[in-house]
Amino acid sequence: MRKHMYLITEHENPKKVGNVHFTDTKRSWPDKNKAGDIQVFKNGDYQVVGTQVCLGFHDFDSEENYNNPDVVQEVVEKKFAEIDDSFLEDAGKDPEDY
């Protein structure tokens, strides 16, 4: 079960900064270790509400593993170690922790 992950580094809702968003399919942007806009459709038009960094993907062995917080945390921490420190800092994370 493949999941693609994106670290939110900026957002109009500050509570979302530092969160990791999981998707079943790869977005057309951004590529791994690159930043891209987060767009939402509001009032008949697309609006940029933040920035996210692609962490790449992970193939979970099972739905059970994907739903296990310990497994997910381990995967996300490995992905954090693979991206530029500046993105972690933007997301309020200490790069030395990864």
Mean pLDDT in residue range 78-83: 97
Residue 5 Cα distances to 26, 31, 70, 82, 86, angstroms: 9, 11, 16, 12, 17
- Its pTM stands at 0.93
Residue 97 inside a domain? The answer is no
CB 36 within 8 A of CB 29: yes
Residue 64 belongs to what domain range?
A: 2-91
Q: Could you tell me if residue 96 is inside a domain?
A: no
User: Total structural domains in the chain?
Assistant: 1
Residue 67 in this model has a pLDDT that exceeds 90 = yes
What's residue 27's pLDDT?
84
- Alpha-carbon distance values, 7 to 42, 55, 97 (Å): 22, 7, 16
